[in-house]
Amino acid sequence: MHPEPTRSDLSAPRSHVAVVGGGVTGLVVARDLARAGLRVTLYEAETRLGGRVRATDVAGLRCEVGAEAFATRGGAVAELVTELGLADQIVAPAALGSWLVSAADGTAVPLPPAGAMGVPAAPLGRAARRALGIPGAVRAAIDPLLPRRIGAGSVTLAELVRARMGARVLDRLVRPVTLGVSSTDPERIPLASLAELSAARAETRSLTAAARRLRESAAAAGGAVLGLRGGMSALVDALAAACHDLGVTIKLGTPVTSVTPLPSGGLALRGGVSEVHADAVVLALPEGPIRQLLSDASAAPAQSTPVEVIALVLDAAHPAVAQLAAAPRGTGALVSAPASPAPASSAPASSSPADPDIVAAPRAIVAKALTHVSQKWPGIVGEHREVLRLSYGRAGDPPATAALGDKAALELALQDASRILGTPVPASAVLGFARQPWQMPVRSARPPQEAPSGVHLIGDWSTGAGFAALIPAARQLAQRLATSLSEFTTPHTLTEQA
């Protein structure tokens, strides 16, 4: 637990910390520092808080177009939610299961029980046999019989899975999960970033047993999730309100472009603000902006994957939509990548191929995942709406929707939804839709250059993606920083110079 800190005498000079970045990570750091009695200013370049957590109004409904849930592992997120007074807003998804859909032909099978990143916990189970075929299931099932040295030198998740369980597990299960959940190919996920999986495998001596243990302990990334009745944007609202109540100064639309040490001690921040001095700075930012702030010109460019989320609100009373009430794909589906990329759009011969409002039927499903929001989170949406959410953009490639205008993007989303769900989703049923592009970070094999003294770095490029990784890391950083700054006897006076 994180006990309520004893705040120092607020009439005494207090150390000043500048937090750069108003996503969930920055807000958590700012709140905890303020609770410890420090003076905190938070700078956010955008005109809103939340980072990749965002809700937007679609046909009168508040729809999440960013992160929609949190993994339960570790308990850190639930603990924070409880501290913020939102415990009664925690909801569990419906126990409907998910599906795996072939991009090539739309063939759908239930997603087998998995322990981590799609690694099957029961390779010979019925669901795994359907997804892998008998040869693939048998190949995966011999994993516990293989010598421990097999896969011992693996650096990435892909190398380990291929060596221990075979190519079918990698391509038909693990790849769709990693692309759907973190927009990252398993070849780009270092084993060093999967601490729970690595530890469980070391103890159990096989990948199958490790997956089973993680599933049983609900420790798998994405294996057990919860949400909030008001969506994850409610967490941002609660954090912002808590920061305000604790006296945190929040400055929106205020980019910071440089952080430099001062000869007299402390740090100077410059950019969209007049020069500000602080005793410490926390950069709660993506890897690219951190490299820019630290002038890390010698490093390779930060890597990220562009994705786009499209939310559809449908009229549940429409005859074609009635089929969706039966949740034909449970809470949603992951789409296996086609063997070769299919064109997202092509124009008729009489039209310009660059026309952003024309899309032809693709040869394969283009979306990488679909969430049936109204079935996954029952009771939140209401009786007269069905809500679907599709994700586009696979590792290394821009989303197929990026070059499309709204009309064509909607048409593509409806085509994909119809094929994934196995039932028509016509345009006449659409009450509204929204689209939101994002840049998803790829975890770096090498962190940015060493930060100047007093500058602290945090982000999912270093901790791994997801609230369950970011929130405990943010709280630990705030605790360490508050402890170190409590030893200051001459904190810097806040100055702003034109």
**Residue 252 DSSP class:** E
Would you say 115 and 223 are in contact if contact means Cβ atoms under 8 Å apart?
yes
Q: For residue 391, which of 419, 420, 365, 369 has the smallest C-alpha distance?
A: 369
* 228 DSSP β-pair partners: 90
User: Does CATH number 3.90.660.20 belong to domain 304-441?
Assistant: yes
For the chain, give every domain's residue range: 16-51+231-302+444-497, 113-216, 304-441
Tell me the average pLDDT of the chain.
84
DSSP code per residue over 373-391: HHHHSTTTS-TTEEEEEEE
Token match 């849930």: residue? 69
Between 159-173, 187-201, 240-254, 404-418, the lowest mean confidence (pLDDT) is in 187-201
Quick one: pLDDT at residue 362?
55
- Residue 8 — very low, low, confident or very high, per pLDDT cuts 50/70/90? very low
Q: Which residue has the higher pLDDT, 62 or 351?
A: 62
Quick one: pLDDT at residue 224?
78
Strands of 141-266 (E only): list them: 225-228, 249-252, 256-261
Q: Which two tokens stand for residue 61?
A: 């409904």
Q: How many residues does the chain have?
A: 498
Give the mean pLDDT of 10-27: 84
| Residues 113-216, CATH architecture | Orthogonal Bundle (1.10)
Quick one: pLDDT at residue 219?
42
* The listed CATH number (2.60.40.640, 3.40.920.10, 3.40.50.300, 3.50.50.60) that belongs to domain 16-51+231-302+444-497: 3.50.50.60
The rounded percent of the chain whose pLDDT value lies above 90 is: 49
**Residue 278 DSSP class:** E
> What is the per-residue pLDDT across 375-425, written as a single tens digit (0 to 9) for each?
999 878 777 899 999 999 876 678 999 999 999 999 999 999 999 999 999
> What is the per-residue pLDDT across 434-479, written as a single tens digit (0 to 9) for each?
999 988 766 555 555 678 889 999 987 777 778 888 999 999 999 9
Question: In the β-sheet with 108-110, what is the strand arrangement from edge to edge?
Answer: 108-110, 99-102, 332-336, 369-372, 385-392, 304-315, 430-441
CA distances for 315 relative to 134, 321, 375, 420, angstroms: 41, 7, 14, 19
Check pLDDT > 60 for residue 195.
Answer: yes
CA angle 77, 78, 83 (to 5 degrees): 100
Quick one: pLDDT at residue 346?
37
- Gap between the Cα atoms of 335 and 341, Å rounded: 13
Would you say 243 and 67 are in contact if contact means Cβ atoms under 8 Å apart?
no
Q: For residue 379, which of 192, 177, 228, 184 has the smallest C-alpha distance?
A: 228
Q: Which two tokens stand for residue 44?
A: 């956010």
Please tell me whether the overall predicted TM-score, pTM, comes out greater than 0.75 for this model.
Answer: yes
Tell me, rounded to whole angstroms, the distance of Cα 303 from its chain centroid: 15
- Gap between the Cα atoms of 413 and 58, Å rounded: 16
Quick one: pLDDT at residue 374?
93
- Gap between the Cα atoms of 276 and 293, Å rounded: 15
CA distances for 107 relative to 47, 176, 231, angstroms: 43, 14, 31
Q: Which two tokens stand for residue 104?
A: 């090539």
Quick one: pLDDT at residue 344?
43
For residue 11, what are the contacts with CB-CB under 8 A and spacing of at least 6?
A: none
- Gap between the Cα atoms of 125 and 61, Å rounded: 40
Backbone phi, then psi, for 383, in 5-degree steps?
-80, -20
- Residue 17 — very low, low, confident or very high, per pLDDT cuts 50/70/90? very high
Quick one: pLDDT at residue 358?
47
- Residue 117 — very low, low, confident or very high, per pLDDT cuts 50/70/90? confident
Strands 455-458 and 496-497: unpaired
- Gap between the Cα atoms of 120 and 100, Å rounded: 13
Top-confidence range, 96-100, 182-186, 235-239: 235-239
Residue 235 CB-half CA count within 13 A: 34
Token match 């939340």: residue? 50
Strands of 263-365 (E only): list them: 267-271, 275-278, 280-284, 304-315, 332-336
Token match 């097999």: residue? 150
Check pLDDT > 80 for residue 158.
Answer: yes
